[in-house]
Amino acid sequence: MGKRGFHHNVYVVELDHAVLREARFLRCNPDYRPGALCVYIGMTGLQPDERFDKHKAGIRANRFVERYGLRLLPQLYECFNPMPFEAACELEVELGIEFRARGFGVWQA
């Protein structure tokens, strides 16, 4: 296990800009800045790469990640992992707020 036995992780997946054709995604991102990243932010008790693989395989998948997920963006989350469950829940929300403020398109479960 990682830091002091913690095993929850946040992760960020880059989404293909084709996700912008999804009305539901657009409605949740009214301040999206054209050309900015589109991302999915999640948390998991698994390793982020294992969770990403499950999304892409359709196992407990978010449909935007399954259809439009390109790659993990570890530079945006690795420094935080691992952490306790409660901290992962909070960080998932905080990252969404921060990334939306930067003009990113963001989806969270």
Q: For the segment 14-31, what is each residue's pLDDT rounded down to a tens digit? A: 999 999 999 999 999 999
Domain range for residue 13? 3-108
What single-letter DSSP state applies at residue 43? E
Give me the pLDDT at residue 105, please: 98
The pLDDT > 70 percentage for the chain reads 96
What spatial distance separates the first Cα and last Cα of the chain, rounded to whole Å? 25
Report the C-alpha gap between 28 and 30 in whole angstroms.
Answer: 6
For the chain, how many structural domains are there in total?
1
DSSP-derived pairing of the beta strands 38-44 and 105-108: parallel
Give me the pLDDT at residue 36, please: 98
Report the C-alpha gap between 17 and 74 in whole angstroms.
Answer: 19
Give me the pLDDT at residue 1, please: 46
Averaged pLDDT for residues 72-83: 96
Mean per-residue pLDDT of the chain: 95
Bridge partners (DSSP) listed for residue 25: none
